């Protein structure tokens, strides 16, 4: 975290949660979606960010109005926040990780911000571009 405010997320004197976290957070790469499991994130971020399939206001991580947080997170075996974001050590746009841990492997990630979205290149899938004005993706569900 650039601000150096470790206590925003960690209780240095002990906690009932893993990793001295101040609130509940799923520690696995995949997790069934349940808003209560993301209490740590929703202490600062909008708690409705992954609840709605379409939106024009909840997040800028969308293709047209298709909410890409919903697509990645809100499902059985959804990706948790730390699958893509690293709040500790990333200088990439939106704290996107430099690598995605996946079992014994690690896949590189790079993200390039565009005027109305971004292009994400991850070793586990072909490059993906999203655009809030001119949608690029056909929703699969």
Instruction: Kindly report each contact of residues 9-14 with a partner whose C-beta sits within 8 Å and lies 24 or more positions away, as own/partner.
Output: 9/40, 9/87
As averages over each run of 10 residues, the pLDDT of the chain (141 residues) reads 77 93 90 89 90 94 96 90 87 90 86 95 87 85 56
pLDDT at 3: 62
DSSP count for the chain of H helices, then E strands: 3, 8
Instruction: Tell me the pTM.
Output: 0.86
pLDDT at 90: 84
């Amino acid at each position: 975290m650039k601000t150096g405010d470790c206590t925003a997320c960690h209780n240095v004197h002990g906690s009932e949660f893993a990793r001295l976290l101040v609130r509940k957070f799923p520690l696995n790469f995949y997790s069934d979606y349940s808003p209560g499991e993301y209490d740590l994130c929703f202490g600062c971020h909008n708690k409705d960010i992954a609840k709605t399939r379409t939106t024009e206001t909840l997040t800028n991580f969308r293709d047209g109005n298709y909410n890409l947080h919903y697509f990645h997170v809100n499902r059985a075996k959804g990706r948790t926040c730390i699958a893509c974001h690293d709040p500790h050590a990333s200088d990439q746009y939106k704290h996107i990780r430099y690598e995605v841990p996946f079992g014994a492997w690690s896949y590189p990630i790079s993200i390039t911000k565009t005027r109305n979205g971004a292009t994400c290149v991850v070793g586990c899938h072909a490059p993906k571009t999203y655009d809030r004005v001119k949608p690029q993706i056909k929703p699969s569900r």
